[in-house]
């Protein structure tokens, strides 16, 4: 199937963040877009307001007759999260449609567009959003499919007038092996998703296969120290083909120099905090320079870059309280985040509220989590968020807490977190995790914002 022949699209599970991005993209291209989801949400309401027809009934009578005919003009996209016995899904298969997963559709788009793919076990969402922002802000332009909500644009999908597309390349379930990148970035490859890959060697092999998919005369940009074949190595703190130098904090903001063989960009002001984000910026700058974007435009874009929702996101920033929310859910992500907190606020007591994500991840990285969470002055640990998993005997937050050496630590419920915040008004608070901990953000903002 070719992207430019598609005229109508039906999405099963249209309300997911990735699926909604595709819905908007095809609507922007002028296609007829419709879909199904189990329940109405704020996201589906927004899609409906944009003119996309959504059904919440698993009833084939709700399907527009135009989707009853399988042809090259009709694309059916589904998420594997929908029930296997879904009537709509079975009907569309029965009338002859091939059903495509989101990753396969991104592959179809990638095949006919100049594609910049950003992969990594962490760092990919911020880096891909940063690349897209530089291209947009500089006037170069692009479309983009992002794994989070860009704070600059308040969306996870961007539309461009050219044929350049930025894609967050997801390693989960080997989704990124559908892409055809012209420029590929790998930000990290720490062991993760071992429930899918089995062991770290298979994960590393998958990243190499992703890099092998770069088109002829394409460019591979790989973080220094990773065991992959790349043309350009980058780093946020070590000498590499391109790297950050003179990284420092000035009045609570991060500044650095970008160094490469083709010349230095001095005193870059990064609009979001974090030493790990300086490293992400080095990769993004490298892409922009390959595309010929002027250094002054790159600097201007990075200054006004506002990051991604739930990635080092300031929620409250007052004289009495600072509250930051972050999506970190792997020990190395936590290490980068908490290290940056220490660098920014060395004299403040750091209270960390953490919700572990997945029983398998907690089990596989228990010692790493314990070491990093011990950096907190006070740790409030929530129960493990199971997501797609069933409990594993012996793997729980009590086990994790027993290994943590922070002087103040406790297992808490969401209600207890709010009660502590209300009573103690912590001077430096962070909520961290990939589960439903984000439900605490709004009430904590109300509590601390009024402190």
**328 pLDDT higher than 70:** yes
CA distances from 41 to 123, 307, 403 (A): 28, 24, 39
pLDDT band at 340 (very low <50, low <70, confident <90, very high): confident
CA separation for the pair 231, 241 (Å, rounded): 9
Give this prediction's pTM: 0.77
Tell me if residue 295 falls in helix, strand or coil: helix
Give me the pLDDT at residue 139, please: 97
Residue of 72 and 122 predicted with greater confidence: 72
What pLDDT does 191 receive?
A: 56
**Residue 188 pLDDT:** 86
Quickly count: other Cβ atoms within 10 Å of residue 352's Cβ: 25
Residue 270 has pLDDT above 50, yes or no: yes
The residue ranking higher by pLDDT, 142 or 190, is 142
Token output for 124 = 């990919």
User: In this predicted structure, what is the pLDDT of residue 193?
Assistant: 46
Higher pLDDT, 335 or 288: 288
Q: How far is CA 256 from CA 83, 260, 272, 312, 339, in A?
A: 49, 13, 13, 18, 17
Tens of pLDDT, residues 219-268: 999 999 998 878 999 999 899 999 999 999 888 889 999 999 989 999 99
On average, the pLDDT of the chain sits at: 91
CA-based max dimension of the chain: 66
Q: What CA dihedral angle connects 387, 393, 394 and 395, to 10 degrees? A: -20
Whole-number pLDDT of residue 192: 52
Task: Give percent of the chain with pLDDT exceeding 90.
Answer: 66
Give yes or no for a contact between 123 and 192, defined as CB atoms under 8 angstroms apart.
Answer: no
Comparing 214-218, 250-254, 442-446, the range with the smallest average pLDDT is 250-254
Residue that wins the pLDDT comparison between 377 and 122? 377
b/e burial code for range 48-58 (CB count within 10 A of at least 16 → b): eeeebebbeeb
Of the candidates 290, 315, 339, 348, which has an alpha carbon nearest to the alpha carbon of residue 438? 315
Assess whether pLDDT exceeds 60 at residue 155.
yes
Distance (Å, whole) CA 125 – CA 129: 6
Higher-pLDDT residue of 406, 197: 406
State whether residue 322 is helix, strand or coil.
Answer: strand
Strands 313-317 and 322-326: antiparallel
pLDDT for 415 equals: 97
Looking at the predicted structure, is the pLDDT value of residue 196 above 60?
no
pLDDT band at 103 (very low <50, low <70, confident <90, very high): confident
Residue 79, pLDDT > 60, answer: yes
* Edge-to-edge order in the sheet of strand 183-186: 155-158, 143-150, 164-169, 114-119, 183-186, 219-223, 232-235, 242-250, 253-260, 265-270
Return the number of other C-beta atoms located less than 10 Å from residue 435's C-beta.
17
Residue 451: pLDDT over 60: no
Q: Which comes out higher in pLDDT, residue 304 or 1? A: 304
**Tokens, residue 211:** 């890099």
- In DSSP notation, 64-94 reads -GGGGS-STTEEEEE-TTS-TT-HHHHHHHH
Distance CA 388, CA 91 (A): 26
Q: Please give the residue that has the higher pLDDT: either 449 or 359.
A: 359
Q: Check residue 197 and give its pLDDT.
A: 47
How far is CA 137 from its chain centroid?
Answer: 20
Of residues 201 and 425, more confidently modeled:
425
pLDDT band of 308, cuts 50, 70, 90: confident
Q: Which domains does the chain have, with CATH numbers?
A: 3-100 (3.40.50.720), 106-303 (3.40.1190.10), 313-449 (3.90.190.20)
Using alpha carbons, select from 33, 62, 71 the residue that is nearest to residue 50. Answer: 33
Residue 62 clears pLDDT 60, i.e. is over it? yes
pLDDT of residue 198: 54
Distance CA 109, CA 165 (A): 9
Question: Is the Cβ–Cβ distance between 374 and 404 less than 8 Å?
Answer: yes
Q: Which two tokens stand for residue 90?
A: 């079975």
């Amino acid at each position: 199937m070719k992207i430019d022949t598609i005229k109508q699209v039906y999405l099963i599970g249209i309300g997911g963040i990735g699926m909604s991005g595709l819905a908007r993209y095809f609507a922007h291209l002028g296609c007829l877009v419709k879909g199904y989801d189990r329940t109405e949400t704020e996201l589906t309401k927004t899609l409906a307001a944009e003119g996309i027809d959504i059904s919440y009934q698993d009833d084939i009578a709700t399907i527009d007759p135009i989707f009853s005919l399988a042809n090259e003009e009709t694309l059916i996209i589904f998420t594997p999260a929908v029930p296997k016995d879904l009537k709509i899904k079975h009907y569309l298969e029965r009338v002859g449609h091939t059903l495509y997963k989101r990753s396969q559709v991104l592959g179809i788009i990638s095949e006919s567009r100049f594609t910049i793919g950003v992969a990594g076990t962490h760092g990919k969402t911020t880096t891909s959003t940063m690349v897209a922002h530089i291209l947009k802000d500089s006037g170069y332009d692009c479309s983009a499919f992002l794994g989070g909500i860009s704070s600059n644009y308040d969306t996870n999908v961007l539309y461009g007038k050219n044929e350049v597309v930025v894609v967050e390349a997801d390693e989960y379930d080997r989704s990124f092996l559908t892409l055809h990148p012209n420029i590929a970035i790998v930000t990290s490859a720490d062991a993760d998703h071992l429930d899918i890959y089995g062991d770290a060697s298979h994960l590393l092999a998958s990243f190499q296969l992703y890099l092998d998919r770069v088109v002829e005369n394409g460019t591979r940009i790989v973080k220094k120290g990773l065991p992959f074949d790349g043309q350009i190595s980058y780093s946020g703190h070590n000498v590499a083909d391109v790297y950050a130098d003179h990284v420092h904090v000035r009045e609570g903001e991060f500044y650095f120099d970008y160094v490469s063989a083709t010349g230095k960009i001095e005193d870059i002001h990064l609009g979001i905090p974090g030493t790990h984000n300086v490293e992400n910026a080095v990769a993004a700058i490298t892409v922009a320079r390959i595309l010929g974007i002027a250094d002054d435009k790159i600097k201007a874009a990075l200054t006004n870059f506002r990051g991604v929702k739930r990635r080092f996101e300031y929620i409250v920033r007052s004289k009495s309280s600072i509250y930051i929310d972050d999506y970190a859910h792997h020990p190395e992500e936590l290490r980068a985040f908490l290290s940056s907190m220490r660098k920014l606020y060395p004299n403040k007591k750091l209270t960390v509220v953490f919700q572990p994500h997945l029983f398998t991840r907690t089990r596989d990285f228990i010692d790493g989590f314990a070491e990093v969470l011990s950096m907190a002055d006070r740790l409030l640990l929530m129960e493990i968020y199971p997501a797609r998993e069933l409990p594993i005997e012996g793997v729980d937050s009590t086990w994790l807490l027993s290994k943590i050496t922070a002087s103040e630590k406790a297992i808490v419920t969401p209600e207890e977190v709010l009660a502590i915040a209300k009573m103690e008004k912590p001077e430096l608070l962070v909520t961290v995790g990939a589960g439903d901990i984000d439900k605490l953000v709004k009430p904590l903002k109300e509590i601390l914002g009024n402190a």
